[in-house]
Copies of this chain bind each other. A is one copy, B any other.
Amino acid sequence: MLFIKRFHSSIQRIAHIVRANKPGDELSVQGWIKNIRRLKNNIFLDINDGSTCNRFQLVVPRNAQTQKLTSGDVVSAMGQVQVAPNGHYELHAKEVKSVAAGHLQDGFPFSPKQTHPPEYVREYLHLRSRIDYIAAQMRLRHRAQKAFHDYMDEHGFVQINTPILTTNDCEGAGEVFRAQPDSDNLLKQMARPNVPQDQSYFDSKVFLTVSGQLHLEAMSYGLGNTYTLAPAFRAENSKSPLHLAEFYMFEAELVHMERLDSLSAFIERMLKEITKQLLSNSAADLEFCQRKAQGNEANLELTWLKVPWQTLTYDEALTIILANREHFKTAVNADEGFSKEQELFLVAHCGAPVFVVDWPAKQKPFYMKISRENPTQVHALDLLMPTVGELCGGSLRESDAQLLSQHSQIPKHLAWYVELRKYGGVPTGGFGIGFERYLQLLTGVKNIRDVIPFPRYPHSCKM
């Protein structure tokens, strides 16, 4: 049982050393050498083990064995925690064990002492986690996901794994990926009469999901509030720094939801609380990412956390945009919502994030609840934020089975969706947040490809 003890107690991750240790403690560390300085009697190794954006100094005697160490090597050492002249902890070890060689002189694309632009780093996706900046992004992404899960769990939501493979394309936007077995033999084997052969596996054309909303709704009718944090797919030919072919959506569906302002209040409180938690448990990584993304400027005092968020009706927002039309490169088109530039203008104009509510029905999908007072409008909201513009879209759902089934835009094959309302229907409302856009909002990272581990976009699906 010795190895269990060793694995769990004496090997410390660097992030934990400052929290859990005191000078004089004996412990082991392991990590990659990021930098080396050789003095007369000692060698100073800055190592990193992936647990933090900070490096940790190992001090070992200079001798024939330690002389051979180079950047990129993996080492482990056991020694005593001491306080360095700069006030940081360091480890004084009698010897250091080389676990593996770095070989960074021989074809490795990243130079240890150089900063590489993100476009270049992206060319080497498989090695990208060795760049401090990307590692920090990944830790932050982990913490953000954890914070979303924790928050929803504490508030009694049930996480539903909405399916990736689906026969519906939700809003009928049409930009979907289709999936089928790669093996023609299998497709032949499974052939059935009246089913095109490329559809024989599922007896139907099957797509990759664009949203889990409809599935969440089905589950909410038995379970109450539900949510999902799952991949979604769009086959768009877009190189925009805000779009990916495979991205993550956080979606929630709330039952007994009859007022749009209840929904927006929930969203505001949730995003503020989750963000505050990240500020408290990921400050170092967050600041590190902000400095890198924003040219060494960090701003952990996110002003949008401290102000009450505003609400504008679509008509009010349109009036503001029209009154300022000379500011925009993009034309104002009252039938198409707002451009990103216009969204950011509205946020600046209000001095706060803005919920734009009460949208023209013709601009929004079939499932949104039509205003009983003004049937040209739906109870929909878009949340506009600094940096990214639209972060979140939501609505009350049409809970009247008859109104829904008569909607001119309802896709075929959604009889089941209407039926949800027919039997024990309950008013619901929900929303979706682009998870990567939330990370961009936090850190100011310009390109969405740098906040996801393995970005997929037109002409690029590496690894």
Residue among B1, B101, B419 making CB contact with A126, cutoff 8 Å = B419
Q: Find chain B residues with CB under 8 A from A161 CB.
A: 141, 231, 248, 452-454
The CA of A25 and the CA of B248, in the complex, are separated in Å by: 42
Are A424 and B72 within 8 A (Cβ)? yes
The CA of A355 and the CA of B107, in the complex, are separated in Å by: 40
Interface residue A261 (Cβ < 8 Å from any Cβ of B): yes
Q: Find chain B residues with CB under 8 A from A15 CB.
A: 156
Interface residue A273 (Cβ < 8 Å from any Cβ of B): no
The CA of A135 and the CA of B167, in the complex, are separated in Å by: 23
The CA of A112 and the CA of B358, in the complex, are separated in Å by: 39
Q: Find chain B residues with CB under 8 A from A266 CB.
A: 7
The CA of A180 and the CA of B131, in the complex, are separated in Å by: 32
- Of residues 123 through 161 on chain A, the ones whose CB sits less than 8 Å from some CB of chain B are 125-131, 134-135, 138-139, 141-142, 145-146, 149, 153, 156, 158-161
Are A463 and B72 within 8 A (Cβ)? no
Are B223 and A129 within 8 A (Cβ)? yes
Of the listed stretches A182-190, A320-328, A343-351, chain B binds A182-190
The answer to whether residues A190 and B237 also contact, given A128-B222, A156-B16 and a CB cut-off of 8 A, is yes
Residue among B168, B231, B424 making CB contact with A100, cutoff 8 Å = B424
The CA of A460 and the CA of B248, in the complex, are separated in Å by: 25
The answer to whether residues A163 and B246 also contact, given A4-B269, A423-B108, A424-B130 and a CB cut-off of 8 A, is yes
Of the listed stretches A170-178, A329-337, A370-378, chain B binds A170-178
Residue among B101, B222, B262, B456 making CB contact with A130, cutoff 8 Å = B222
Q: Find chain B residues with CB under 8 A from A135 CB.
A: 222-223
Are A179 and B181 within 8 A (Cβ)? no
Are A159 and B179 within 8 A (Cβ)? no
Are A176 and B165 within 8 A (Cβ)? no
Are A246 and B165 within 8 A (Cβ)? yes
Q: Find chain B residues with CB under 8 A from A167 CB.
A: 461-463
Contact with B along A411-442 (1 / 0, CB 8 A): 00000110110111111000000000000000
Residue among B3, B149, B422 making CB contact with A146, cutoff 8 Å = B149
Interface residue A304 (Cβ < 8 Å from any Cβ of B): no
Of the listed stretches A35-43, A211-219, A287-295, A386-394, chain B binds A211-219
The contact sample of 9 A-B pairs, CB cut-off 8 A, is: A16-B156, A32-B222, A101-B424, A125-B218, A126-B218, A146-B149, A177-B180, A202-B460, A215-B463
Q: Hey, which bits of chain A sit against chain B, CB under 8 A?
A: 1, 3-4, 7, 11, 13, 15-16, 30, 32, 49-51, 72-74, 76, 99-104, 106-108, 125-131, 134-135, 138-139, 141-142, 145-146, 149, 153, 156, 158-168, 174-183, 186, 189-190, 192, 201-208, 214-215, 218-224, 231, 233, 235, 237, 245-246, 248, 255-256, 259, 261-262, 265-266, 269, 399, 416-417, 419-420, 422-427, 452-454, 456, 458-463
